[in-house]
Structure 1
Amino acid sequence: MNIRLYQESDAKSVSYLWNQVFPDNPSHNAPRLVITKKLKVQPLFFVAEKDSAIGHEGTALRAIVGTIMAGYDGHRGWLYTVAVTPQHRRQGIGSKLVQHAESVLIAMECPKINLQVRASNAEVVAFYKKLGYFTEERITHGKASQIACWSILEYLSLPPKLTDVPV
């Protein structure tokens, strides 16, 4: 298995993986939209790939089997979209992706790494606990900005109507 930076040629494979792993994601988390916005800000986006077959010329064909995005704002680091294909789980790929992102953040002198998971996802909570993460007694608040709404319209390639803009 190889972990490397995301490349534009990975877009279809990553979109397929995320749609498979996160089927109930809201529209503002559409893969193409998330990837485009992430890469504009900070390219800490990694993919795990494995040999999937041998091509007719004897070269290895590689398949993306996992992803992780990381971010650092100078105060805290964050991990996002840790995803591994269902058929490649329990092989250490997710752990290696997290460790890779952690090492990059630590090299940036990041003092603390945060992540969010849905409280109902006990399997993922246990995964992170095994990696040394713990539940902090916090309440997370979120608010979608107007930018998020416009981004969804842009993603859908629909021209916004002036009546959609709050006054």
Structure 2
Amino acid sequence: MSIVIAKYSDGAHRAGVVALWRKTFDYGTPHNDPDYSLDMKLKADDGLLFVALQDGAVIGTTMAGFDGHRGWIYSVAVDPSARRRGVGAALVQHAEQALAAIGCPKINLQIVSSNEEVVGFYKALGFSVEPRISMGKRLPWRG
């Protein structure tokens, strides 16, 4: 299986990413709608959205961000038919390298509590569970 990791291109990859995210993520909030999420990420214009391609088809994604203090990795998704073949690891490592190249000193990520089985995946990639409390606040929806 030959996999290529590439920067996201809206014209070439949007339909595949939207389909993958609808298949793999169970988000019930409007701000997590795949099309909206892509539009908002593209506004950042940071080049930190990557796709894994097999024969030109999107089989995985990862999104990264850097605020000047910490890097973040989001939206790591791999098509169920391509899991356990190193695609997710390659995506995360690609995002790590991209963040390191722009001077990022530390990467954070969050895992939805109902997805605890992925903890081992990230531990194998060098991440560790940190004693933090993740908090969030929803702002009025502007979609």
CA apart distance, 1:24: 3.7
TM-score, normalisation: structure 1: 0.80
1:136 aligns with 2:130: yes
SS in 2 for 1:143: coil
Unaligned runs of 5+ residues in structure 1 are 52-61, 152-167
| Pairs aligned (count) | 139
The equivalent residue for 1:44 is 48
SS in 1 for 2:113: coil
TM-score, normalisation: structure 2: 0.93
Give the letter aligned to residue 87 of structure 1. S
Cα distance per residue 1:93-148 (max 9 Å; x no partner): 000000000001001110000000012312211110111111111111101112xx
In the alignment, which of 50, 63, 74 is matched to residue 69 of structure 1? 63
1:109 aligns with 2:103: yes
CA apart distance, 1:12: 1.1
| Divergent runs of 4+, >6 A | none
The equivalent residue for 2:19 is 16
Q: Percent identity?
A: 49
1:150 aligns with 2:142: yes
Task: Tell which has more relative contact order, 1 or 2 (C-alpha 8 A, sep 6+).
Answer: 2
Once residues 120 and 94 of structure 2 are traced to their aligned partners in structure 1, the CA distance between those partners, rounded to angstroms, is 19
SS in 2 for 1:103: helix
The equivalent residue for 1:5 is 7
Give the letter aligned to residue 124 of structure 1. V
Once residues 5 and 27 of structure 2 are traced to their aligned partners in structure 1, the CA distance between those partners, rounded to angstroms, is 26
Cα distance per residue 1:45-100 (max 9 Å; x no partner): 0000012xxxxxxxxxx111000000001100000000000000000000000000
- How large is the RMSD of aligned CA atoms in angstroms? 1.0
Does the aligned pair in 2 maintain the 1:72–1:78 contact within 8 Å?
A: yes
Give the letter aligned to residue 8 of structure 2. Y
Does the aligned pair in 2 maintain the 1:3–1:47 contact within 8 Å?
A: yes
CA apart distance, 1:25: 4.1
